[in-house]
Amino acid sequence: MSDESPLIRSLRAAVAAAPEDVPLRLHFAELLLAEGRGDEAVTEAAVALQHAPGDDAARALMVRAMGLPMAPEAPAAPQDAPAETTAPTFDWDAAEQEVGDVVGPRFVTGDVEQPLTADGSGDPGDASAWDVDVPGSVRLADVGGMQEVKDRLEAAFLAPMRNPELRKLYGKSLRGGLLLYGPPGCGKTFIARAVAGELGASFMSVSLSDVLDMYIGTSEKNVHDLFETARAQAPCVVFLDELDALGAKRSRTHHGGLRNVVNQLLTELDGIDGAENEGVFVLAATNVPWDVDLALRRPGRLDRTLLVLPPDAPAREAILHYHLRERPIESVDLGKLVKATEDFSGADLAHVCETAAESALLDSARTGTVRMIGMKDLLGAAKQIRPSSESWFASARNVAMFANDGGMYDDLVAYLKKKRKL
Ligand SMILES: Nc1ncnc2c1ncn2[C@@H]1O[C@H](COP(=O)(O)OP(=O)(O)O)[C@@H](O)[C@H]1O
Ligand SMILES: [Mg+2]
């Protein structure tokens, strides 16, 4: 706006520079409201609520802003005036009452334990950890539940990394690699990042699409350089995500260059003589292990597998907690929600929270009254969504029945039997 007051203009800049400063943003929203810019005030209050879901001042302001979309011109409020002086036509008592209804406990006590986090705060890492590959930002303690998976990772990587004596003692048996497999969206990449968080610089992650984007010929060199760096840095874990992209059955690779990359990877995994790869551990992940070249899975290479199943109850609780952490929720019984989302993947759970937020938001917009996200929204959303792992298990079932060569998929068979799917 060209006729915007200098005060509003500079506050807008201040808010942009400190987006998480809730009092500042609320102050800005108050000013907007006082100038009759109710819609903008609603937007600012909504952002403030995202950062501080339980904040009473933010909620009160939201209610007032929604009730006063076209407030009459009022003088700009002095810096820390009580809210009631800024919007003279506003019925403060009525708003208080309305807010009183809206404010409720965020969570009701369920029968599931609070999620685990490294610092015990219940918030599994900062948001950036999920999008950006920042080693050190996710720790194993941020991975909810999945105790068996954690134990295996501890034995396969963390203990030998920490303990050179143990490496010597077990020698060769600790060499080689571990292939994480399971339905999509169930935490393979996330878990690998947590291992990276535990190991810091001695974890090298490579996006295979990056390797393959290179010109033919350089991709082999990239693979070689990667392993050379890992050897120089040993003990070190090399993580190959979406291994199927690279290790696709050689017969299926229409792209001639890819075969060379696979061959190069085989060479690197074997090392020129066995000793060369001392202290180099390989972790890989795929949704489609049956598409991975069998040569990559021979002894000494990716010879161990670890099934990563849909999140168990504590894992689902951690995931739900994470996705609800910045949303305006009220009386959410996580234990109940956890029970209603069996077999849901991490991605499905995110979708449930998104859908629930959407329905509460639509309701609020329709009625002009802010409504928090409640159990009804969440359970309703859960009912609408079918676990996305179903189709994965349908393919996995065939593999377990007809292609379990050498007991490669014994874990899967055991799980399917337990679930009476086999
Ligand atoms: N055990 C868990 N604890 C906390 N969050 C999890 C857990 N498992 C999965 N998630 C969440 O689910 C999302 C999807 O998992 P991801 O690792 O991308 O799946 P995959 O690599 O198996 O396809 C992750 O970003 C993470 O936020
Ligand atoms: Mg992944």
pLDDT, tens only, 129-168:
223 344 557 898 889 899 999 999 988 888 888 888 887 7
Cβ < 6 A, ligand 1 pocket: 124, 130, 143-146, 184-190, 311, 315, 318-319, 346-347
For 292-348, write each residue's pLDDT tens digit: 888 888 888 898 899 999 999 999 999 999 999 888 899 999 999 999 999 999 999
Return the pLDDT at 137.
78
Q: Closest ligand 1 atom, CA of 191?
A: 17
Say yes or no: do domains 6-102 and 146-309 share a fold: no
Cβ contacts of 410 within 8 Å, gap of 6 or more: 404
Q: Write down the mean pLDDT value for the chain.
A: 79
Using 50, 70 and 90 to split pLDDT, how confident is the model at 113?
A: very low
pLDDT tens digits, residue range 260-288? Answer: 888 888 889 887 566 778 888 899 999 99
Q: In angstroms, rounded to a whole number, what is the distance separating the alpha carbons of residues 395 and 89?
A: 64
Atom in ligand 1 nearest the alpha carbon of residue 183: 22
What's the confidence (pLDDT) of residue 41? 83
Q: What is the pTM of this model?
A: 0.68
Choosing among 1.10.10.410, 1.10.10.10, 1.10.30.50, 1.10.8.60, the CATH entry for 107-115+311-387 is: 1.10.8.60
Ligand 1 centroid from CA 199, angstroms = 19
pLDDT of residue 173: 63
- Write phi, then psi, for 372 (nearest 5 degrees): -75, 160
In the predicted structure, residue 95 carries a pLDDT above the cut 50: no
Highest mean pLDDT among 50-54, 305-309, 407-411: 305-309
What are 310's two structure tokens? 């849909």
Q: What value does the mean pLDDT take over residues 358-382?
A: 91
> CB-based burial of residue 212 (10 Å sphere; 0-12 exposed, 13-18 middle, 19+ buried)?
middle
pLDDT of residue 411: 92
Predicted confidence band at 349 (pLDDT cuts at 50, 70, 90)? Answer: very high
| Range name among 3-7, 86-90, 358-362, 416-420 with the lowest pLDDT average | 86-90
Nearest CA to ligand 1 atom 15: 187
How far apart are the C-alpha atoms of 247 and 260, rounded to whole Å?
11
Question: Residue 280 gets which letter from DSSP?
Answer: E
CB 76, CB 27: distance < 8 Å: no
The CATH class, in words, for 146-309 is: alpha beta
Give the pLDDT score at 169.
78
For residue 1, give every residue at least 6 positions away whose Cβ sits within 8 Å of its Cβ, in sequence order, or none.
none
Say how many Å lie between the CA of residue 242 and the centre of ligand 1. Answer: 14
In the sheet with 236-241, reading across from the earlier edge strand, the strands are 203-207, 236-241, 280-286, 176-181, 304-307
CATH class of the domain defined by 6-102 = mainly alpha
Q: Where are the domains of the chain?
A: 6-102, 107-115+311-387, 146-309
Residue from 128, 150, 186 to probe ligand 1 pocket by mutation (most atoms less than 8 Å from CB): 186
Distance 353 CA to ligand 1 centre (A): 15
Instruction: Examine the pLDDT at 72 and tell me if it is beyond 60.
Output: no
Which stretches does DSSP call E strand in 208-296? Answer: 236-241, 280-286
Q: For residues 80 and 12, which has the higher predicted lDDT (pLDDT)? A: 12
> Of the bound ligands, which one is closest to the alpha carbon of residue 193?
1
- Going from the Cα of 139 to the center of ligand 2, the distance in angstroms, rounded, reads 17
